[in-house]
Structure 1
Amino acid sequence: MPLVSQARDWNHGVFMGATMASETTAAAEGAVGRLRHDPFAMLPFCGYDIADYFAHWLEIGEALGAEAPPVFSVNWFRKDEDGRFLWPGFSENARVLEWVVRRIEGDVEAVDTPVGKLPRVRDFNVAGLDLGYEDLQAILSVDREAWSREADEIERYFGEIGGERIPASLQRELSTLRANIR
């Protein structure tokens, strides 16, 4: 998952939120620190059927129509093969939010990728950071092989949590992801 990405549209944004993965914490059942899908970071707190929850978010987008706000996703915790965090985090996260605001205001372009719209390296403020070009490229890029594995995981996950009850538009988003990463 790139450091920051913008959804293509509302439904894609709901798909991004619905397929979010994070490490478990004490708030969730099971082993702490295990990576799992946690839709909208709300799985331990959702009080009704998760497929209905997804459908609710899709309905909000339908009601908003052209007024639906852009949706962004962040991954503050990407690590390299040695387990080192690639993004410094903490107060530097404001740099990510700066790009989001500039994107919303139309001041910067984005690169269309199989997983959404990503910052152009030249538009991302890294002044004064000890962040090498390779690390920046890594956090602002798409690993197609990893995303192919993720698509398989999402399909399994959808089957576990709702199967046929998962809204058709989210199933289409999964198909679009698969087609885009080929």
Structure 2
Amino acid sequence: MLIPPEELRKKGWEVTTVGDDIAWIKPNKDGELRAINPENGFFGVAPGTAMSTNPNALLSCARNTIFTNVALTDDGDIWWEGMTEEKPAHLIDWQNKDWTPDCGRVSSHPNSRFAAPAANCPCIDPEWENPAGVPVSIFVYGGRRMNDIPLVFQATSWAHGVYLGATVGSEQTAAAEGQVGALRRDPFAMLPFCGYHMGDYFKHYLEMAKLAKTPLVFHVNWFRKSPAGKFLWPGFGQNARVFGWMVNRPYGKAPEHISPLGYVPEYEDIDWEGLNFTKEQFEEVMHQDKEKIKAQVAANDDYLINKIGHVSQELLEVSKEILKRCE
């Protein structure tokens, strides 16, 4: 549901949505991966969803939508934390209690939801119900990493791409999640859903290298911070600038530059029109510390060998290749 910045939309940039959660992906007769959305709508987390953060999601809720565990306004509308800058003076909260801004508790459950028909979405893709699916040209994995992963990089091979999915994780930001700053792994965002051994799951991904054409694989990190704790990247619609580089890569329309972690763009490879983001800022958000990368690789190997187990040697070879690029 990404909306590119106005300057890029004027150039013809457009993002359409097939689904917001699940993709069922399989090869067609030509060996090309195609994806469908098996769901009829969006089941989104409500808190934080606003016109300023995800307008298309909010507009999708305009009609025929089921809301669960959100607050009710005095005029019968719904509200949740982050929906508007100004909080309503009075609500009935998700526990059917009177709520005011100074009552000391949230009005809506942290996992409150909206279930909206996909057909409501202003940017729904015309092919979203095509049973043949839509072509898949890139996979993108992402995690919330504060200081050791750059804004974007591309895997150097399919095995490297599987490695990125197998080791992806986010740093915990709240004590309720566990130790703050500790890395919580979630391979392919499938840990709660995979019905068989993750080591075998990784091997099945590796076997997809036999396809006639495999997607390019990328890793993004919108959440990198400076030593002072300030986010280095503006995020939201500005992420389209990074996607611009990624989606052009399979077609040879964007250059590549090798780095320890993989292929990366240079400052000149990104369209910056309308955004004051200097080359120095870009270099900071893209910086790779070789010593931190070596520590990452050691942690990845430990996770794959000792936590996952039954892991393919092909993935462990990727670690060796990354270390070689750190020399």
In the alignment, does 2:184 pair up with 1:57?
A: no
**Which entry has the higher C-alpha Rg, 1 or 2?**
2
Unaligned runs of 5+ in 2: 1-148
* Match among 196, 215, 220 for residue 74 of structure 1: 220
Aligned length in residues: 177
Q: How does 1:11-160 map to 2 (within 5 A)?
A: 11-23=159-171, 31=178, 34-62=182-210, 64-65=211-212, 67-160=213-306
Query: What secondary structure does 2:276 align onto?
Result: coil
Which whole-Å deviations, capped at 9, do the CAs of 1:107-145 have from their partners, x for residues lacking one? Answer: 121101121100021111222223232220122232211
- Is 1:168 paired with 2:313? yes
Moved over 6 A (4+): none
Q: Deviations over 1:39-79 (max 9, x none)?
A: 112223222211111111101222x14x1121111111111
Q: What is the identity percentage for the equivalent residue pairs of Structure 1 and Structure 2?
A: 41
Instruction: Give the stretch that moved more between structures: 34-43 or 74-83.
Output: 34-43
Q: CA deviation at 1:25?
A: 8.9
Which structure has greater strand proportion? 2
Equivalent pair of 1:99/1:124 in contact (CA under 8 Å): yes
Provide the TM-score with structure 1 as the length reference. Answer: 0.87
- Aligned partners of 1:17, 1:109: CA distance in 2, in Å? 23
Instruction: Report the residue type matching 2:167 in the other structure.
Output: T
Q: Which runs of 5+ in 1 are unaligned?
A: none
Larger relative CO (CA 8 A, sep 6+): 1 or 2? 1
Deviation at 1:12, TM superposition (A): 0.9
Q: CA deviation at 1:103?
A: 1.8
Higher share of residues assigned helix:
1
